[in-house]
Amino acid sequence: MAYIDIQNVTYTYPLTKTPSIADVNLSFERGKFYAILGANGSGKTTLCNIIRGFIPNFFQGEMKGKVIIDGKNLEEYEMGEIASKIGYVFQNPFNQITGARDTVYGEIAYGLENFGVPVAEIKTRVEKIMEITNTTYLQEKNPFELSGGQQQRVALASVLVLEPDILVIDEPTSQLDPQETERVFEIIKTMKQMGKTIILVEHKMELVAEYCDEVVVLHQGKVIRHGDKHDVLSEIELEKFGIMLPLTVYLANELKKHGVRMKDNIITSDEMADQLQKIGKKE
């Protein structure tokens, strides 16, 4: 049985007639890493808000269909249950950081305090998650005095410390430099290795190709692709839906046009290097 099952979901924002997402059916398995792709306005953030329960609980508008998580209708969960089961990381860390405490340590601990977790356990969990997110050296600093990359890692830590089973992450690297982007993806990779189910909206296709298991493509509110990353990301025709594919895919396609016998569905630079090495040995 699917861990997350989205059944015939349609959602229309207030004062609009066109649904943001329409008749969406998706299933997500426990412990897998999913990427949600699509052009601007395709419904990616709306889908994330529905999975997290922000829609329809905090947004007006009309929603039809069901979201089943771990065998239970999302409508049946208490808000506290949802918050502890599903972690949501916003695109902009300013929207995540509460400012309720004036240190990074306090910011990360704040959610646990609200849930009434014992002080000793808070200390253990905060120290563990700061180590994972490489924020220990920042613990006495004010969160609002950090760089964008540091703030994003603190925002991630404040969600991860709650130990949710599911992570919904909306373009966490859109404002980060390449080094901080890699750090964030390594943290997310660690979460996957710990058995978390990850649903990520991201435009940096090389990283999607490297880290994710499956890919969902949205276009004008509808699911047009869902499958293994190699099958989906190797489709050149996705360009017409505003999807930029990994550079490796374009290179493989050009080499095929020039008569080079390439393996199908090459999407990462490591896969390309391995294939070219094999071709070189044959020649």
How many CA within 13 A on the CB side of residue 189? Answer: 12
- Same-domain status, 181 and 273: no
Backbone angles phi, psi at 73, to 5 degrees: -60, 135
If pLDDT is split at 50, 70 and 90, which confidence band does 60 have?
confident
Amino acid type, 236: I
Average pLDDT estimate for 262-267: 87
Q: How confident is the model at residue 282 (pLDDT cuts 50, 70, 90)?
A: low
Q: Which CATH number is 221's domain given?
A: 3.40.50.300
For 175-222, the DSSP string reads: T--HHHHHHHHHHHHHHHHTT-EEEEE---HHHHHHH-SEEEEEETTE
> Please, which pLDDT band fits residue 263 given cuts at 50, 70 and 90?
confident
User: Domain range for residue 269?
Assistant: 246-283
State pTM to two decimals. 0.91
235 and 256 both lie in a single domain: no
CA 200 to chain centre: 2
Separation between Cα atoms, residue 208 and residue 188, nearest integer Å = 12
CB 99 within 8 A of CB 143: yes
Mean pLDDT score across all residues of the chain: 92
Q: Are residues 199 and 167 in the same domain?
A: yes
Q: What is the pLDDT of residues 196-230, one digit of tens each?
A: 999 999 999 999 999 999 999 999 999 999 999 99
φ, ψ of residue 107 in degrees (nearest 5): -65, -45
176 Cβ contact list (under 8 Å, min separation 6):
148, 149, 152, 184
Do 189 and 127 share a domain, yes or no? Answer: yes
Alpha-carbon torsion angle 7, 76, 36, 200, nearest 10: -160
